Structures are given as structure tokens and as C-alpha cells.
Amino acid sequence: MNLSGVWLPIITPFRDDKVDFESYKKLIEYYIGKGISGIIPLGTTGEGPTIDGIEYEAIIYKTMEFVDGRLPVFVGLGGNNTKKVLKELKTVEKYKVNGILSVCPYYNRPDQRGIYQHFYSISQETGLNIIIYNIPYRTGRNIENETLFRLAELKSIVGVKDSCGDFKQTADLILNKPEGFSVLTGEDMIFYSTLLLGGDGGILAASHINTESFVKVYDFIKSNDHESALKLWKSLHEFIPLLFQEPNPAPVKYWLQRKGLISSEEVRLPLTEISLGLKEKLDSI
């Protein structure tokens, strides 16, 4: 599966500490019409760590029902206990999802051998496509490019969400990526730069807002209209930092609630709603 374009790591709307499926359906309908390439529920932006087992399966079920085959769906599924991840795969495989987004094991900080064996084990256990998520500032461990290239040799591992935090590593990854292996940035601020280097797209929390503009930047660059891409990117570049000034996805949820796309900006602890100061800044744009 060749992955490209703008992928939406969709938020999970809550109301009174329950998943608000009415708002969730509204979100999916709204974004399907915006030109995105796929939807990823239950990632970090979807507050996956605070979703319990019953809710987790219900969200997958409802996502597939609401999407109804119109876009690919990759489900967030990862952890630092390989055996537990393999068990949870069985839940995901009940539904006709296209694949999973799986984060590097965190906290116990395995070396490169352990990282390889973790993802190798997942790939051997499922026929689902796998996007690896490399985000060292959250996990405490970087997946080195050499390890990624070895993993890319496995048929089911189709790409990486790259949030390594080192642009040299990102550049080396893109310029040397194996055929058929996609590099999707998870760093919203370097979406434009990633595309210019030859990256395949992005999994972008910020694309909840001005979605069509992110899609147009991608389309302009792929059609070699770099002047139009840069002009549009400058307008996006100004507001993206505000969405990460306080912990994601709280700023995005505030904007979505103001837009009328969700009924509440509620997030789950340990996250909290954004400050009044940030609300005023977001309102101003």
C-alpha cells in the first residue's frame, strides 16, 4: 500500500466523560469532503492512552461504519509490552481496517535490536499494513534509520510517521528510503520542507484546521507549482505553532468546538482545557 498525501489523526470528542459519537460522525463527514488521504483514529491526537478497552473497540466499529469504505483507516495501536500489543491486534482485526499506526515502545527504552524484534513480531502476527511511529521526545528512544530500513524489508511495514526531531535524520531517511516505503511527517511545522525533499505526505494534527490548504500545499508541490505552495504555506506557518503552544489536542478541540463541529472541547486528564490566553489568541485568527 503506497501512502501519500494528508492523513488526519482524528480527535476523539468527549461529552460528560463519554465518547460523543454524534460529534464524531459529524467530524468524519466533514473531513471526508476536504481531500484528505486517510483517517487515523486512536492515536495521540485521539487521546488513545485514555481510551479504555470497551471504548477502543467501539471507536473502531463506529469509525468503519461512518467512513463506510470512502477512505483508508489506520488505527492507533502500540505499546511497550509486545505480548499485549499482539493480543490487542485481534480486536483490531475484527474490522476491515487498512492497517495500524504503531508507536516505538516507550518508557522501558529498548535498544535497536529490541525495537526491531518488537515490530518484527507485530508484522509476523498480522496481515494488516503497519506504519511505524518514531517520536523520541515522547518515547525516550529514537528508531535509527538503519533499523527502519531493515524493517521496511518486511512486506507489511509500509511506512513511518517521522517525528524524530532531527532534520538531518529526516533528510537522510527521505533521500535513501526504500522503494514502496512511505515517509509521512508527524511534525506539522516541517510538512512543507518534508515534501520538498521528496517525502510522501504527513499525519498532521493541525490539518483539522484549514484542511483544504494543507491538501493544496501537497498538490501544488507534487505538480511542481512551488511558488503557489510557498505562498499558501506561509499562511499556514503562522498559526500552526499556536496549536502546539499547549498540549495537543486541547487547542484543536477548542477550535473545533468554536466551529460547531463538536459539542464540547472536553479532554481527559491528565490533559486539561486550554488557557484563556490561548483561547484569545486562537479567536483572533
* Catalytic residue list: 133, 161
- Partners of residue 132 on adjacent β-strands: 102, 160
Backbone angles phi, psi at 221, to 5 degrees: -65, -40
Kind plus residue range of the DSSP H or E element containing 147: helix 145-152
Distance of CA 78 to the CA centre of its chain: 13
Whether residue 201 contacts residue 178, with contact meaning beta carbons closer than 8 Å, is answered with: no
Query: Strand 38-39 to strand 5-8: parallel, antiparallel, or no bridges (unpaired)?
Result: parallel
The one-letter amino acid at 7: W
Cβ-in-10-Å burial (0-12, 13-18, 19+) of 179 comes to exposed
